[in-house]
Amino acid sequence: MTEFKYLIFFMTLIIGVPLGYLCCLHSKNCEKLVFFLVIFFTCDMVDINFVSMETYRGTTRGFEFGMVDISLYILLSLVLKRRHQLPIDWFPMGSSLYLLYFLFSLASIINADIGLYSAFEILKMCRMYVYFWTIVNYLRNEQQLQWLMTTIGAIIIYIFFSVMKQKYLLGMFQCKGPFPHQNSLVMYVSIFGAMAHAYLLNVASSRSWFWFTIFGMASICILATLSRAGLALFILNSLMVFCISVCSKQSNAKVRKRHLILLIILPLAGTLVLIKASDTIMERFLSAPEESKIVRIRLAKAALYMANDKVLGVGLNNFAHKINPPYSYSSHIPMVDDNDPDEKHGLVETVYLMIAAETGWLNLIVFISLLLFFYIKNIKNYFRLKGSQSRYISIALIASLTCIYLQSTLEWVLKQTNNFYQLMLVFALIATMDRMIQTGELNGQAKRKRC
């Protein structure tokens, strides 16, 4: 069965990519479909894992390849084919910081006891950069941004029905949709939900009923996870999008009217949903174990021990290995069952300490610099996009990046494949907006189809 799975993968790669490329050359609809799949498969990972080590508790457990990569190779082929008409940016903005982050991560392998675990993560980081590079060089005009919004709407609908199935048919207490964990869903949906919310509030030609429904679906998905931090941060996310949109002083009367209507409707709708789910929410908050908080603190201390022990950390993707005996980093953490030889400690619950522990404090500084670089660039885009309807993208990303950076102090979700891909999509979008501003593509006057 395993051999058959590999055969299907390589047949899809060898035949599917060239065939998809040829179809895209002759059909704009095929190209739209491939672009949709490149985004969609970051949500529902259909992949194959070479040298799979699923029992390992690290951030990456094998050499992963999936449909998102295969779809991406088709787009990459189109980018290279069109390089004479659409010049390629061979080294997009932010690449220097990402390369530095990659090199520090690579250097940390000298301290890794099991280099194979590090190799898993190195491959993933390479895949992420190829994704970023391809999206930056593929997105060229406002029509493609419309494709992106249509794709986001479809993905939120898909996630919503997946969550509803889990909640009402499978009886799941904390729903996670197509993601590996509910916190992954929270971070993913908070970004696309903010995009839908900002689009609704800032683009007069958008179908208000449709995008209000999409935003409502995103909100319900977040609520169904019963993630305490996720709920709080999504509320902050929504408030930021609304307040920035209102403060942007839209001249369009239709948009201003929409702001007023939503100012009335959203609190009422939110209150009704909270009343309906109040029992479950209260149970989640009241039943949260104190032990969970204690474990977080203990794992954070262990991460600090690792980061302080070695300049380059204990080795990329080796935290889950070195948090256990015979290493002393977790000597302050008691085992639940001393007689169970298979018992393992978990991962530190913040991506920042995870990076410091595995690859050193210097690399954490590089990583934070990378995050802040795109955050600041996006804020600059917001001010430069005054008068353009495409400003909604910068508004959404100001709010969502603020919240996921905060959420990352509590979770290591950004290391998970789904969310890592989405983060690189966001960075690519910021870089694309910057280029389109410079070339004059975004002038706020382009005719738009209703979406």
Cis check: omega of the bond before 326, within 30 degrees of 0 = yes
pTM for the full predicted model: 0.91
Q: CA-CA-CA-CA torsion for 226, 287, 170, 194, nearest 10 degrees?
A: 0
Rounded to a whole number, what is the distance in angstroms from the first to the last CA of the chain? 44
Which residue is it, tokens 């390479």? 126
Q: With the CA atoms of 177, 179, 181 and 182 taken in that order, what torsion angle do they form, in degrees rounded to the nearest 10?
A: -40
In order along its 451 residues, the chain shows pLDDT tens digits of 566 777 887 888 889 899 999 999 999 999 999 999 999 999 998 888 888 888 888 889 999 888 999 999 999 999 999 999 999 999 999 999 999 999 999 999 999 999 999 999 999 999 999 999 999 999 998 899 999 999 999 999 999 999 999 999 998 888 999 999 999 999 999 999 999 999 988 887 888 889 989 999 999 999 899 888 888 899 899 999 988 988 876 656 666 666 666 666 666 666 665 565 556 555 555 565 667 778 889 999 999 999 999 999 999 999 999 998 888 898 888 876 666 666 688 889 899 999 999 999 999 999 999 999 999 999 999 999 988 888 999 999 999 999 999 999 988 999 999 999 999 999 999 999 999 998 877 754 444 444 5
How far is C-alpha 209 from the geometric centre of its chain's CA atoms? 26
Rounded-to-integer distance, Cα 448 and Cα 252, Å:
15
Contact 57, 66 (CB under 8 A): no
User: d(Cα 47, Cα 33) in Å, to the nearest integer?
Assistant: 19
- Alpha helices by DSSP H, 277-360: 278-286, 290-309, 319-322, 351-359
At residue 143's C-alpha, the angle toward residues 146 and 200, to 5°, is: 30
pLDDT at residue 448, rounded to an integer: 45
Contact 135, 428 (CB under 8 A): yes
65: β partners? 48
State the Cα–Cα distance between residues 118 and 316, nearest whole angstrom.
5
The amino acid occupying position 27 is: S
Q: Give the helix/strand (H/E) hosting 66.
A: strand 63-66
Q: Could you give the angle at which helices 208-225 and 228-247 cross, rounded to 10 degrees?
A: 150
340: left (phi over 0), alpha (psi -120 to 50) or beta: beta
Structure tokens at 173: 């207490």
How much of the chain is helix, strand and coil, in % rounded to 5?
70, 0, 30
For residue 250, the model assigns a pLDDT of: 66
Per-residue pLDDT at 128: 97
3-state secondary structure of 173: coil
- Record the tokens describing residue 15, joined without a space: 């035949």
